[in-house]
Structure 1
């Protein structure tokens, strides 16, 4: 892990998978809540320059979600929602054929620290590489920095 608060973003060389890891001064329950409470999620997700609006959000196993970040719309289904883990689909509506299967893990690291790990399985190496070229890392790091500030100020 990095010590400067940036996420580690890695592409699997053998699978069309992107893995992301970041540690937070938080509990796994706080990270889980930040990903399942729509009001909290909308405040931290994405790059600083874009505002997120929730269209609908049903964070339970079998539920679905849809939100806009700026002019960009995304949607998906929650396949498994439980403390410590979320499995969901993720679709950018500008490319509806490219559906990713995402798993998020919220791990207790002890001493008031938690690690967020995500894995996104996309449909092809071309899609994976396009995601990586999209400067997604900037949005991830800016969003996680907002989340960390919300944890520190007691919002989460």
Structure 2
């Protein structure tokens, strides 16, 4: 990893199809996207090459909002997703399944500086904790 790139590898107790859907279904994405103590108050997705995505991450009282938007560059369900627009960066998600488990490699670049990169690291790490909880809920409800 160079100083202006971010790579996070995370294991989830869910098959790749569920993890992929959590990235592309707007309702699922809204349930986990954003750092803890925030709310994804609006999420839209059009998961196809050239399709657009848009999300608003808000403080719990909705006084502070941060809108983000971009486009999908590449989709290969349930293995790979590439999207542009997050702070002028490119996000690449690669999913490797083994039975009912998935290893996700998340890569985001370029960042203008280390401070920006580190801020995103903290936010994504928190989001992925919520994603793990969301995937557990989905699997329990399916039983």
Please report the TM-score for the alignment, with normalisation by the length of structure 2.
Answer: 0.82
Alpha-carbon RMSD across the aligned residues, in angstroms, is: 2.0
TM-score, length basis structure 1: 0.76
The aligned residue for residue 82 of structure 2 is 87
Residue 44 of structure 1: how far off its partner (Å): 0.4
The runs of at least 4 aligned residues of structure 1 exceeding 6 Å deviation read none
Q: Distance in 2 between matches of 1:55 and 1:153?
A: 20
Aligned length: 133
Distance of 1:150 and 1:106 partners within structure 2: 17
Query: Per the alignment, in what secondary structure is the counterpart of residue 34 of structure 2?
Result: coil
More helix by share: 2
Cα deviation 1:104-142 (Å, max 9, x = unaligned): 10111x2421011111121x5xx14132342x3332232
Segments of 5+ residues of structure 2 without an aligned counterpart are 59-64
Equivalent residues of 2:27, 2:43 under 8 A apart: no
Residue aligning to 2:61: none
Flag structure 1 segments of 5+ consecutive residues without an equivalent.
Answer: 1-11, 93-98
Residue in structure 1 matched with residue 68 of structure 2 by the alignment: 74
